[in-house]
Structure 1
Amino acid sequence: MPANIPAVVFIGGGPRTAGVLERIAANRSELFTGPLDIHVVEPHVPGSGRIWRYDQHPGLLLNSTAADVTMFTDGSVECLGPAVPGPGLAEWAAGVVDGSITDVPDFPQLLWEQLRQLNGASFPTRQLQSQYLEWFFRRAAKSLGRSVTVHRTTAVGIRPGNAASGFHVVELANGRTLRADILVNALGHTDSRPDAASATWSGFARRHGGFHAAPGYTTDVDYSPIAPGQDVIVSGMGLAFVDLLVLLTEGRGGRFEETSDGGLRYVASGREPRLWAGSRRGVPYHSKISATLRGEAPGRLRFFTAAAVEALLERHGELDFRRDLWPLIAKEAGYGYYRELLTGSPARAAMDWDEFAARYTALDWYSARREELVAAAVPDSALHLDLERLDRPLEGRRFTDRQDVQDAVAGYIEHDLALRDSPEHPETLALFLALLHVYMEVGRVVPPERLNARSQQAVHGWWHGFFSFVDSGPPPHRLRQMLALHRAGLLQFLGPNLEISTDEADGTFRASSPQFPGTLAATAFIEARLPGTSVARSLNPALESLHRSGLGTEQQLLTADGIHSTGKLLVTSRHQLVDAQGQPQATVFAVGPGTSGWGAGAFARPGTNAAPFRENDALARAILSVARGLTAEPSAALSTAPAVVGKN
């Protein structure tokens, strides 16, 4: 390669890298018109990567409808680069079917059937999503000319190159090396060594011949040791739990059938285990919503705004999530909820919306006057928005026995479906949209360095979990399937605040809840959740190398209890990696769920000013700005062996 061509190396080639590549192409004419040498290191097919790869069970679905998925930065995104329109997943599928989109591979018949049946309201398979993501990556790479080389291998190490030039060397599993004048860590979700509790449980299972699955990616866990009919304790009732149900029921030959009364029945294969599921809340994530808004259309946020946050900063200097931000978020959520209720379902209201809105605006969310206003405007107390009860629906409830728990959780699921999979309650959609809008806005208007440590934990912990519980749940038919499995005796509920212990005498795991008497014993235990982020315990060799060398470090928060590590890779607001000495690295970037940045996800709903698209644009512009100022050394691979280019 000629000299002075900056070499950019992306470690990880999933949808986040694809989005940044598209933004590099969109911003290139403004910021850097010279040649680039871009390398993408990804052992799986680029675009989909590991998490969204085609090689998954065909029953695994997205928890978003096709209309709510796009990879394109549209005009709603507040960024410096230009919007480049393109088809979301639903439009892409339609274009493939009608022949207007032709740059796709020869799909198997199963995918053609899915493409033909897909509409905006469908919940696509992950297999189908993989093809959209891979198409987008190819399109983004093509827009960069011949600049992009894909290496279908793994990055196993990162070390400094020439100290004077400041580049880094990326070591690959195939024995080759790459020079990186600019390095971008975009690994997405990765595995970690189990924490102390999980490691102890795994050791217990090995000693006693039992089974334990530590937190992991459900589709990558081997569940074959679990025998038909075996009792299995499951901790976690989120999206990983939904995937687990698919793999251990339909994945073992069972099927669901519609009944004559419109219900659902599970026909077992006889190979299924019996699952006993519990969690902190004791209930599954809320279902996605099928209602449509009837009332006044949502507008811009009114309370959780940049101006409001700036005023709080001027008043306090440092922000506290619970004291300062959450009341604004709650008030914003309530405004959207009650606007739809009063304007879209006026028969349920006893007050005109304009009067309600004027009075509501002047009141704090946590005030008696606000509660009195709601009581006067909405006579049915069951329709009053209680965010604390929404978060912990079984809090404080005492159960007399295990059957009481079964009835409570099954009743909760049925009620959730009645609210969210029905045209009669569009206020649930208004709440969903308000929380989504706020969630996307947090990273834009809240400077993370101005949050106290406790609040940074709250944002990445409780707030993300609450949002996911309410807004990021499964398709409604998944909850119907849970009820069918429950009726078939293959899914039982353990209740809230699940506690796990072990009994060395008989080699069993024990599950209990402080809210009802008794325990359940089983020789198998599954932790149905993703691994917690931990750079220090990472099983990814590139992350391990970053941490070991001190080039990267975990985010540390000083709290009243001492120093707490979030486990996330510490980055600046510009996504620059911060080293062990606290110094930002001008040419090393990191982005994605394993970093301390705000943004979440790699794709999003169209028209929502989505945080990942804003981040992608800012990162692309930073990369181009650095490239413009570099006088790079020759950017060929340092190995004398020829480079290997991965082909889709």
Structure 2
Amino acid sequence: MPAHAPSVVFIGGGPRTAGVLERIAANRAGLFQGPLDIHVVEPYEPGSGRIWRYDQHPGLMLNSAAADVTMFTDASVACSGPAADGPGLAQWAAGVLDGSITDVPDFPAALREQLRNLTGATFPTRQLQSQYLEWFFRRAGAALGGDVTVHRTTAVAVEPAGGPASAASNGTGSNGTGRNGSAYGAGTHLVRLANGGTLRADVVVTALGHTDSQPDADSAAWSGFAARHAGFHAAPSYTTDVDYSALAPGQDVIVAGMGLAFVDLLVLLMEGRGGRFEETAGGGLRYRPSGREPRLWAGSRRGVPYHSKISASLPGEAAGNLRFFTAGAVDALLEQHAELDFHAHLWPLIAKEAGYGYYRELFTGSPGRVSTGWAGFSARFAELDWYSTAREALVAAAVPDPALRLDLEALDRPFAGKSLGGSADVQEAVARYIEQDLALRDSPDHPETMALFVALLKVYMDLGRLVPAERLNARSQQTVHGWWHGFFSFVDSGPPPRRLREMLALHQAGLLRFLGPGLSVEADESTGEFVAASAQTGFSVRAKAFIEARLPATSVVRSLNPLLASLHSAGLGSEQQLLTADGTHSTGKLLVSDRHELLDGQGRTGGRLFGVGPGTSGWGAGAFARPNTNAAPFRENDALARTVLGVAAGIVSAHPTSTRPTGQDTPAEPAAVGRP
């Protein structure tokens, strides 16, 4: 490595870092053709990282079909860098089988069988996905000409290269050139590693993905309660990393949360303990228990699981571009209002967009279910506000079946305002809801549900591109990170339909019972039991075990990740704070600028420190996406890659005769090779 090569250190080597590396390679010729010294710090296998690592229960699956997974920034992505076509997961699997893709390890028989059985409609295992992600990482590294060194350890601290006293000088911005003991001036940092090594970094990019946090006050209290009374409590965590061995066969367990973490929990505590599912003659499933399973009592705010992924195609009129939630509409709002409110200004446009997509498919794909033509309906629909009696009357006149009229509020809270009189009513109501969800989404009979999915996905991907975060009021920024993300995930990011059929089979086997909506959990010191109840259900359940089935809330301040803790304690990074009418609230996310620069509590940049991913205040979500959807994470990856290359060019331009040392101060471990 030439002595003058700028060094870039990525902290976290999962799919998000892989995506940025690919974009650096794609953009490099046009922005910075000099050498780079790139380091990736990742304790797990690079490419898959912790969340998608191979070493998980083989029954855990993606909640996306293989045809909906790609890591490549295709031509649909509105970015400054060049498109890079490449195989999505389904095409990659076919290429491995036919020998056109050879740079993969030898797969064990079980994975080979999965490759042979994979189709675009298959929901692949996380083990198979791990191999695609690790292949993509190796490919991105190779495209950078061997400039990438992987360190299989953890980053524990970041500090200015000149010591703490120089931290203030780092406020000069991404291209600061003051001296702090580094050949490349202010902004250069030392990255301390858990193995005792140190990396000197001209640019640091944190891409940490989902990290663990110390329990909040309620979770900590419940853990203390369980310890005092010889009970069991699992605080929010990545499900597969929790030890559930203390749960006894047949033991009652209260579960709060019915999202994707709950789905994983069912796999681990049912099939993971030796049970199995059998197909029935009617197309359903029957569960054969091993006798080692506990009995789960599950509830949540909504009281139902996430909606099933959808298998229907779209026979109706092609969707095209968004019509109401557009750049022009948002710009008009920005001209009228100094600050935008999500519910008052943006949600009516989003709801109308979702409704337009839904009804377009209903009218053009299933014309026998409506009483008028699409041309006349759509023209009148376009003139009306979503929340207007005229719009409601238009739909009522054109859609005879009330069940086919889109009600987004009822979709969000299916049991709102309903009284469920006791356990038997709750069991029947939730089981019927799951059956209806499968009828709507896991059959070809209701393609309008797929159209709704597509419309919401397009809005979700475009929100950050169209709406400047700084123009949203603080309450709305909370709403975006909270309610909107939760609603989108509930409708669009649910499990494969088989998982819902498995829930019904477990319910019929008596191993899964439902607690209903509005779940509350308390601890009874007199009995040492957790008590779960809901005002809508009229019954309660007592148990010695309680699982919070969700990921830990993002929190820089309470983070268990040593690197995040270091950034916070050193003042190089801060937690996003929002000032609302009722006080200051934290999102828990690492505060970044629109260029992904880390910001301190006063909004100042820390000098060539960047952050990307779900733990940051940026808009984008996810690390991979559906092909041809102008995916937000790919747009972010490209922009960040171009920023990093621009910084590297600026560094070399400002110090053309530097004799700086190479980026690593201690020997690196060899780059990892993916393995099943």
Shorter-chain TM band: over 0.9
Task: After TM superposition, give the deviation of residue 638 of structure 1 in Å.
Answer: 5.9
Does 1:248 find its partner at 2:269? yes
CA distance in 1, matches of 2:617, 2:570: 19
Deviations 1:164-185 (A, max 9, x none): 1120000001101000100000
Q: 1:297 aligns with which of 314, 318, 334?
A: 318
Q: What amino acid is the match of 1:248?
A: L
CA distance in 2, matches of 1:157, 1:580: 19
Task: After TM superposition, give the deviation of residue 198 of structure 1 in Å.
Answer: 0.2
Q: Which runs of 5+ in 1 are unaligned?
A: none
Aligned pairs for 1:124-523 (under 5 A) are 124-162=124-162, 163=166, 164=179, 165-166=185-186, 167-523=188-544
Specify the alignment match of 2:53 in structure 1. Answer: 53
Deviations 1:43-75 (A, max 9, x none): 001000000000000000000000000000000
Task: After TM superposition, give the deviation of residue 262 of structure 1 in Å.
Answer: 2.2
Task: After TM superposition, give the deviation of residue 633 of structure 1 in Å.
Answer: 6.1
Task: After TM superposition, give the deviation of residue 625 of structure 1 in Å.
Answer: 0.3
CA distance in 2, matches of 1:422, 1:2: 59
Does 1:644 find its partner at 2:674? no
Distance 1:35 1:200, change over 3 A: same
CA distance in 1, matches of 2:34, 2:488: 43
Q: Judge which range, 492-501 or 253-262, deviates more.
A: 253-262
Deviations 1:504-551 (A, max 9, x none): 011000000011223110000000000000000000000000000000
CA distance in 1, matches of 2:280, 2:575: 53
CA distance in 2, matches of 1:191, 1:25: 31
Distance 1:356 1:634, change over 3 A: same
Q: What amino acid is the match of 2:57?
A: H
CA distance in 2, matches of 1:279, 1:215: 14
Alignment check: 8 A CA contact 1:409 1:493 kept: yes
Specify the alignment match of 1:602 in structure 2. Answer: 623
Alignment check: 8 A CA contact 1:510 1:520 kept: yes
Specify the alignment match of 2:41 in structure 1. Answer: 41
Alignment check: 8 A CA contact 1:10 1:17 kept: yes
Specify the alignment match of 2:102 in structure 1. Answer: 102
Q: What amino acid is the match of 2:660?
A: P
Secondary structure, in 3 states, of the residue corresponding to 1:87?
coil
Q: What amino acid is the match of 2:27?
A: N
CA distance in 1, matches of 2:48, 2:565: 23
Task: After TM superposition, give the deviation of residue 637 of structure 1 in Å.
Answer: 5.0
Alignment check: 8 A CA contact 1:176 1:637 kept: no
Task: After TM superposition, give the deviation of residue 124 of structure 1 in Å.
Answer: 0.2
Please identify runs of 4+ aligned residues in structure 1 that moved more than 3 A: none
Q: What amino acid is the match of 2:8?
A: V
Secondary structure, in 3 states, of the residue corresponding to 1:178?
strand
Specify the alignment match of 2:591 in structure 1. Answer: 570
Task: After TM superposition, give the deviation of residue 636 of structure 1 in Å.
Answer: 2.7
Specify the alignment match of 1:66 in structure 2. Answer: 66
Q: What amino acid is the match of 1:390?
A: L
CA distance in 1, matches of 2:638, 2:206: 16
CA distance in 1, matches of 2:244, 2:576: 34
Specify the alignment match of 1:3 in structure 2. Answer: 3
CA distance in 1, matches of 2:78, 2:283: 45
Alignment check: 8 A CA contact 1:37 1:635 kept: no
Deviations 1:265-309 (A, max 9, x none): 000000000000000000000000111111001000000001110
Alignment check: 8 A CA contact 2:2 2:35 kept: no
CA distance in 1, matches of 2:585, 2:280: 52
Specify the alignment match of 2:182 in structure 1. Answer: none
Deviations 1:62-89 (A, max 9, x none): 0000000000000000000000100000
Alignment check: 8 A CA contact 2:7 2:663 kept: no
Deviations 1:547-600 (A, max 9, x none): 000000000000111110110000001100002332023411000000000000
TM-score (norm: length of structure 1): 0.99
Alignment check: 8 A CA contact 2:557 2:568 kept: yes
CA distance in 1, matches of 2:663, 2:545: 48
Alignment check: 8 A CA contact 1:235 1:527 kept: yes
CA distance in 2, matches of 1:56, 1:412: 31
Q: What amino acid is the match of 2:450?
A: L
CA distance in 2, matches of 1:26, 1:200: 50
CA distance in 2, matches of 1:384, 1:586: 53
CA distance in 2, matches of 1:346, 1:87: 37
CA distance in 1, matches of 2:659, 2:319: 53
Q: What amino acid is the match of 2:70?
A: T
Alignment check: 8 A CA contact 2:4 2:662 kept: no
Specify the alignment match of 2:567 in structure 1. Answer: 546
Q: What amino acid is the match of 2:373?
A: D
CA distance in 2, matches of 1:598, 1:88: 24
Alignment check: 8 A CA contact 2:474 2:578 kept: yes
Deviations 1:610-630 (A, max 9, x none): 000000000000000000000
Task: After TM superposition, give the deviation of residue 635 of structure 1 in Å.
Answer: 4.3
Alignment check: 8 A CA contact 2:201 2:663 kept: no
Secondary structure, in 3 states, of the residue corresponding to 1:517?
coil
Secondary structure, in 3 states, of the residue corresponding to 2:245?
coil
CA distance in 2, matches of 1:637, 1:317: 45
Secondary structure, in 3 states, of the residue corresponding to 2:272?
helix
TM-score (norm: length of structure 2): 0.95
CA distance in 1, matches of 2:580, 2:329: 26
RMSD of aligned Cα (Å): 0.9
CA distance in 2, matches of 1:455, 1:262: 44
Task: After TM superposition, give the deviation of residue 644 of structure 1 in Å.
Answer: 1.9
Distance 1:74 1:46, change over 3 A: same
Deviations 1:306-357 (A, max 9, x none): 1110100100121000000000000000000000000000000111101011
Q: What amino acid is the match of 1:645?
A: P
CA distance in 2, matches of 1:4, 1:97: 43
Alignment: residue pair count: 647
CA distance in 1, matches of 2:663, 2:352: 55
CA distance in 1, matches of 2:110, 2:87: 22
Alignment check: 8 A CA contact 1:637 1:643 kept: no
Deviations 1:393-416 (A, max 9, x none): 011111111110000000000000
Distance 1:480 1:635, change over 3 A: farther
Alignment check: 8 A CA contact 1:287 1:473 kept: yes
